A = this chain, B = another copy of it.
C-alpha cells in the first residue's frame, strides 16, 4: 500500500492557494493513500473564534470536494485536517476516497489555544475498513495520550494517519514508542513554516514520517522545507502482535491490574 506523506507550508487563510499547492505536490507522485497536515487548508494560528468561524467548512464544503475530486481521479484515498463547521466547530480530519467522503474524526485532545475556539471531539476514535486497509486517524497532540493510539489499535487499525501541526519537539521520536507498543504503522504528517499572529509566534517542526510496527522510521522529511515522499508498506505486518512467541501485545494486557481506587482510568 503506497502511502504518501505530504508536508506543506500553508499560508494562513489562503484556502484556495493551500489546496492548490498541496494538489500540485500530490500530483507529482502515485500513491494509494495521501496524508496531509492538520488544518492544511486554512493554517493554524487563529486569533479568535470569529476568524475560525469565517474559515470553517462543512464536510460537504469546498475542501472536501476538492480532495474528493483528486481521490476519484487517482482512485486513491486522502486524509487531511480542516476546521469543520457543524453545530459546533471541530478540529477535524477527513478521509475521502474514490466515492467521496468516507468519514471524519474530531480531535479529542485539543492543544493550547485550540481550547478557546474548537469544541472537543465527540466521535471517539473511529477505524475505517477500506480496500487499502484498516485506517484510523488521530490529530497532532493526540500523540501524547497513549489511550488514543491504543484505542485505535484495539479497534483494529493497521495504520494511523496522523495529520499534525507540531510545535513541540517530542512527537516524531515518541511515535516510535506508539508503534512498538501497538505494532501498528503511523503516518505523522506535519507542516513547516511559521505563523506569527496576534502576538503568538509559532514555528512548526516538520519531520513528517512513517514508522513501522517494529519502530523503524521508514522515512522522515526535513524540518524546514515542504516535501513529499511515498513508501510502499504491507499493512498486514500490523496484524502480527507477537513481541515473542509468548507475548501477544494486545492479549497480554491485564485490565484487572490497571484498576484505580476510584475506577477513574
Interface size class of A (residues with CB under 8 A): 35 or more
Q: Are B112 and A257 in contact (CB under 8 A)?
A: no
Q: Are A124 and B257 in contact (CB under 8 A)?
A: yes
Per the bound structure, the CA–CA distance linking A112 and B248 in Å amounts to 10
Contacts of A154 in B (CB 8 A): 260, 264-265
Per the bound structure, the CA–CA distance linking A113 and B260 in Å amounts to 29
Q: Are B181 and A108 in contact (CB under 8 A)?
A: no
* Chain B: minimal CB distance from A56 (Å): 20
Other-chain residue from B121, B144, B215, B246 in contact with A181 (beta carbon distance below 8 A): B144
Contacts of A195 in B (CB 8 A): none
Contacts of A121 in B (CB 8 A): 254, 257
Integer count of this chain's copies in the complex: 2
Contact bitstring A191-223, B, C-beta under 8 A = 1, else 0: 000000000000000000000000100000000
Other-chain residue from B111, B120, B244, B247 in contact with A247 (beta carbon distance below 8 A): B111
* Chain B: minimal CB distance from A44 (Å): 14
Contact bitstring A223-265, B, C-beta under 8 A = 1, else 0: 0000000000000000000011111010011110111110011
For the complex, is A24 an interface residue (Cβ under 8 Å from B)?
Answer: no
Q: Are B170 and A215 in contact (CB under 8 A)?
A: yes
State the 10 A-B residue pairs at the shortest beta-carbon distance, nearest first.
Answer: A146-B146, A177-B177, A174-B177, A112-B244, A115-B246, A151-B258, A147-B258, A108-B257, A124-B257, A108-B254
Interface residues of A (CB under 8 A from B): 108-116, 120-125, 141, 144-148, 150-151, 154-155, 168, 170, 173-174, 176-178, 180-181, 215, 243-247, 249, 252-255, 257-261, 264-265
Can you offer 19 A-B residue contacts whose CB atoms are under 8 A? A108-B257, A111-B244, A111-B246, A116-B246, A124-B258, A124-B259, A125-B258, A144-B180, A144-B181, A144-B243, A145-B253, A146-B146, A147-B150, A147-B253, A147-B255, A154-B265, A155-B261, A170-B215, A174-B177
